[in-house]
Amino acid sequence: MRDLKGHPELCAINTATLGFTARIDKVIDAVARHGFGGIAPWRREVEGQDIKAIARQIRDAKLKVTGYCRSSFIPATTVEEFRANVAANKKAVADAAILGAESFVMVVGGLAQGSKDLTAARRQVAEATAELLAHGKAHGVKIALEPLHPVYAADRSCLSTIDEALDLCDRLVPDGEDMLGICLDVYHIWWDPALARAIERARGRITGFHVCDWLRVTKDVLNDRGMMGDGVIDIPAIRGMVEKAHYDGLVEVEIFSAADWWTRPIEDTLRVCKERLATVC
Amino acid sequence: MRDLKGHPELCAINTATLGFTARIDKVIDAVARHGFGGIAPWRREVEGQDIKAIARQIRDAKLKVTGYCRSSFIPATTVEEFRANVAANKKAVADAAILGAESFVMVVGGLAQGSKDLTAARRQVAEATAELLAHGKAHGVKIALEPLHPVYAADRSCLSTIDEALDLCDRLVPDGEDMLGICLDVYHIWWDPALARAIERARGRITGFHVCDWLRVTKDVLNDRGMMGDGVIDIPAIRGMVEKAHYDGLVEVEIFSAADWWTRPIEDTLRVCKERLATVC
Average pLDDT over chain A, rounded to an integer: 97
Per-residue pLDDT, averaged over A205-229, amounts to 97
Q: Which residue of A has its CA nearest to B189?
A: A150
Which of B153, B191, B216 lies nearest to residue A191, judging by beta carbons?
Answer: B153
**Structure letter (DSSP) for residue A279:** H
> Backbone phi, then psi, for A274, in 5-degree steps?
-60, -45
pLDDT bucket at A176, cuts 50 / 70 / 90:
confident
Sheet with A64-65: strands ordered across: A64-65, A38-40, A11-14, A251-253, A206-211, A180-185, A142-145, A103-106, A68-69
Among A118, A190, A221, select the one facing B221 at the smallest CB separation: A221
The pLDDT value recorded for residue B210 is 98
* pLDDT tens, position by position, B145-174: 999 999 999 999 999 999 999 999 999 998
Reported as a single tens digit per residue, the pLDDT across B60-106 is 999 999 999 999 999 999 999 999 999 999 999 999 999 999 999 99
Mean pLDDT, residues B142-147: 98
Residue B257 · residue B224 · CB < 8 Å: yes
Treating both helix axes as pointing N-terminal to C-terminal, what angle do B24-33 and B266-279 enclose, rounded to 10 degrees?
Answer: 40
**HSE (side-chain half, CA atoms, 13 Å) at A277:** 31
Contact, B239 vs B281, CB < 8 A? yes
Is the CB of B151 less than 8 angstroms away from the CB of A153?
A: no
Residues in chain A: 281
Q: What is the pLDDT of residue A22?
A: 96
Cis peptide leading into residue B70 (ω within 30°): yes
**Which residues in chain A have Cβ-Cβ distances shorter than 8 Å to B153?**
190-191
For B191, which of A150, A191, A193 is closest by C-beta distance? A150
Q: Which helix (H) or strand (E) holds B33?
A: helix B24-33
Which is nearest to A64 in space by CA: A195, A249, A256?
Answer: A249
DSSP state of B16: G
CA atoms of B179 and B9, how far apart (whole Å): 24
Q: How far is CA B49 from CA A131, A149, A175, A247, B98, in A?
A: 63, 41, 65, 58, 12
Gap between the Cα atoms of B257 and B228, Å rounded:
12
Residues of A in contact with B194 (CB under 8 A): 163-164
pLDDT number for residue B5: 97
**Four-residue CA torsion sign, B196, B202, B203, B209:** negative
The two most distant CA atoms of chain A are separated, in Å, by 51
CA B130 to the chain's CA centroid:
19
Of B34, B83, B80, B32, whose CA–CA distance to B58 is shortest?
A: B32
- The angle that helices B79-99 and B118-139 make with each other, rounded to 10 degrees, is 40
For the segment A60-76, the average pLDDT, to the nearest whole number, is 98
Query: Could you give the CA distance from residue A176 to residue A171 in angstroms, rounded to a whole number?
Result: 10
CB atoms within 10 A of CB B2: 11
CB contact under 8 A, A233 and B116: yes
Strand partners of residue A185 = A210
Give start and end residues of each alpha helix (H) in chain A.
Answer: 24-33, 43-46, 51-60, 79-99, 118-139, 162-172, 186-189, 195-201, 235-244, 266-279
pLDDT of residue B177: 76
> In sequence order, what are the beta bridge partners of B180?
B143
- Put simply, the answer to whether A155 touches B217 (Cβ < 8 Å) is yes
CB pairs under 8 A between A and B: 78
Sheet holding B103-106, edge to edge: B64-65, B38-40, B11-14, B251-253, B206-211, B180-185, B142-145, B103-106, B68-69
When pLDDT is cut at 50, 70 and 90, the band that residue A43 belongs to is very high
Phi-psi group of B240: left, alpha or beta (phi > 0 → left; psi -120 to 50 → alpha; rest → beta): alpha
Chain B contact probe: residue of A223, A232, A235 with most B CBs at under 10 A: A232
Contacts of A233 in chain B (CB under 8 A): 116
CB-CB neighbors (< 8 A) of B221 in chain A: 151, 221
Q: Is A222 on the interface with B (CB under 8 A)?
A: no
Q: Are B154 and A216 in contact (CB < 8 Å)? A: yes
Asked whether the beta carbons of B129 and B167 are under 8 A apart, the reply is: no
User: What SS3 state is found at A116?
Assistant: coil
pTM of the model: 0.97
Question: Average pLDDT of A221-231?
Answer: 97
A51 vs B207: CA distance, rounded Å: 58
Best A115, A117, A151 residue to mutate vs chain B (most B CBs within 10 Å):
A151
- Residue A47 touches chain B, beta carbons under 8 Å: no
Q: Average pLDDT in the A206-218 region?
A: 97
B163 touches A: beta carbon within 8 Å:
yes
pLDDT in tens, B180-236: 999 999 999 999 999 999 999 999 999 999 999 999 999 999 999 999 999 999 999
- CA angle, corner B201, sides to B195 and B207, nearest 5? 90
- Residue B125 has a pLDDT of 98
Judge: B234–A111 Cβ closer than 8 Å, yes or no: no
Q: Is A170 on the interface with B (CB under 8 A)?
A: no
Residues A87-108 have a mean pLDDT of 98
Residue among B107, B89, B74, B93 nearest B222 (CA): B107
Query: What is the average per-residue pLDDT within A16-44?
Result: 98
What pLDDT, on the 0 to 100 scale, is given for residue B178?
A: 87
B93-141 confidence digits (pLDDT tens): 999 999 999 999 999 999 999 999 999 999 999 999 999 999 999 999 9
